[in-house]
Structure 1
Amino acid sequence: MHSVSIATILIFAYGAIIPSTSGFAARDASSRTRRPPPNRTRRNPSSSSSPKPKRAPHQFDHTKEEARPFLDNNLAVKEQLVNDDAPEYTFEDDDTEQATIIPDGTHLVYFSLDELFPNIADLGFSHKFCTDGKFRDDLRNSMREDIFDSTPAYENLPAKARKILLLPDSSLQGSWTCRDETLRMKKLTEVLKHHLGEQSPTGDEFMEAIGSLCGSEPSYHWIDIVGVMNRRIPHSWHQDTGRSRGGDTKTVLLGFPKEDNYSGVGVFSHAVKLKYEKVSYKEHVLDDPVVYSGLKIDDEYIVRPQFEQGKEIVMFRDVDVIHSSPDVAYRSSVMRFM
C-alpha cells in the first residue's frame, strides 16, 4: 500500500516539475493563480492624458479643411458684396505730411473690350466675350499657346512638358509685347477672325492694345492665373512691385468668367483702396512683391471688383492699392498685364 502511494506521489511530483507538451508545467487547475481580468475601460481621447497631435508651424493649429474649407464657389460669391464705395485704408506708419493723397475714383478703373478698338464699327467684342464660352476658351487657349511657343525659355521643353503647362487649369507666364515685324500671335489672330469676322484686329494688335493700358515704362510681364478653386482661402495682401515707374504705370487685369452672362465677383483680385500712395523702399528689389504677412483687413475696407459686360478689364496703380487673390474665386482665370 505504501509502495503504491509513494509511486503515485513520485509520479505526481515528477509531472509537476517537468514541462508538458504544451510548454507549461502540468498543474492542478484549482491551484493556478488567476490573473485579474483586463481593464476594458476605454480612454477618452479628449482627456488631458491623451497625447495631442503635433502640427507643422505653417498649419497654425488648424487642419487644412479648417483653413481652406471646401465650398460651392458659385453659391459663395453670390453672398459677397462688391463694396466699390469702401473707405480708404491708412497704415500706422503713413507719412501724412509727405505722402501723396490718392484722388477719389482713381484707385480701380473698369474698362471694356469694346473700348480697345473704337474705330472698328460693329465689332461686338464685349458682347461676344461675355456671352460665348467657346469664344472665351478659344481666345484664352490661343493666347497661351502663342506666348508659350514664342517664349525662348520654353523652346527646348519636351512635348510632354508643353502639354502639361498648357492645361487650362495651369497658370502660365511670359511677355505680352508684340513689336516684331513678323506676326507673333498667329493662333490668336485666327481665333479673332473666326469669331469676330474679317474686320477683327490681329492677335498682336489685341495684345498691344491691352498692354498699352499699362501706361509708360511697363515691365511687359504677362501671366494667366488660375488660382485655388472650390475652397475658401485667407486673403494674402501684397503689392506686385510697390512702384509705378512712370507715374502712370498700371497693372491691368483681363477676367475670364466661369459662365456666360456672368455678373458678379470672384473673377478679379480683391483690393483695399489706400488713402496715401504706398511706395516700396529704395532698397526693395524691383519687381519683387511687397508682402504684408499676417495683415488682417476688416471686411468694410475690401473691394471685390465686379465682372460684367462692359467691365471685362480692371486697372490700378500698384501704389494705390494692396490686393490679394479672392478668398472665394469663381472664374476660369484672370490674365495680368504689367
Structure 2
Amino acid sequence: MARTRKAVEAVPSGGSDNAAALRRKHQRDRLRTLGFLSPWLIGFTVFFGYPLVATVYFSFMHYNQIEPATFVGWRNWKYVFEQMPLFGPALWNTLWLVVVMVALRVVFGIGIGLLITKLKTGVGFFRTAFYLPYLAPPVAATVAFVFLLNPGTGPVNEMLGAVGIEAPNWFNDPDWAKPSLVMLSLWGIGDLMVIFMAALLDVPKEQYEAAELDGAGSFAKFRYITWPSILPIVMFAVVTGTVQTMQYYTQALVAGKLASGVSIGPGTTIQPGYPDHSTLTVPQLVYSLGFQNFNTGAACVLSLVLFAIAMAVTTLLMRKRAGLLTAED
C-alpha cells in the first residue's frame, strides 16, 4: 500500500516537470520568433504605426508646425468637408485616375506582354524598347512628355497637323489634361509588361495544344486558359496600381507647372492643379495645406480620408466576391 502511494505521488511530479520544460521550450520559440520579426515590427511601428496615430491626433488639433498644438475638436473635419472648395475636384481627379489609369495600364500591360511573347524575332529589342521609358526618373519623363505634347512646338502636334488632324492642347486643356497623364503612365508601362510576360510564359503549353486539338480559337484560348492562369497577377497589378495611383503626385504637379509656363526653381511656390484644377490630386492638396499653408490639421484630415478610401478599395478588390480571384487561388 505504501509503495502504491509513493508511485502515485511520483507521477504528478514527473508530469509537472515535463509541462514546465514544455512551457520553457514554447517561450524560447516565441522569443526566437519575436527576434526574427523584430526588424519588421520596429519598421512597422516607426514608419506606419506612429505616423498613423500622430495623423489621427493632429487631425483634431490646430497646429502650424511652429506654435504648440491646441485641441479644436471636429473643426478641421468640418473645414475639409464643408468649406474647402478644392476638396471635391481633387477627390474626383484622384478617383478618375484610379479607375481609368489602373484599368488601361493592366489592359496595355497584358496586350504588350502577349504581343512580345508571340514574336518570333526581335524579342529582346522590343522588350528593351518598351521597358526603357519605365527606367526614366518621374520628373525627367514628365518633362520629356510635356515637351512632346507641347501644343505650339511639340512634335506630336506637328505630325498630327501634317496629316490634317486638329491636335488638342493636351496639358493646357482641362478636358485633355487627365487623359494626357494617362498617356504618360502608359508610356512607362514597362514594369507591368515584365510582370505579365513572366505570367504568360508560365502558362503550360500543353493546355494550348489540347485546346487547339479541340478546335478552340485565339479568343477561346485566352478566355479559358490564359486569363484564369494570370488572374492572380492581374489581381496583384490592380491592387498595387490602385494604391500607387491614390498617391499620385509628382507627374501631375510637374506636368501642370510646365504647361502653365512658370519655371520651377528654388523658392518657387507651386500652386497645383493647372489647368483649372483638372490635374489637382488629393496628395497635392495634402502637401499644399501641410507644407505651404502650414495647416497641418486639415492636411491630416485629407491624409486620413485618402487612407480610408485606399483601404476600402483594396479590401473590396481582395474579397472573393469581387470576381478577380476564385476560391482555388
TM-score over 0.5 (shorter chain): no
Q: TM-score, normalised by structure 1?
A: 0.28
The structure having more radius of gyration, on CA atoms, is: 1
Structure with the higher fraction of residues in strand conformation: 1
Higher relative helix content: 2
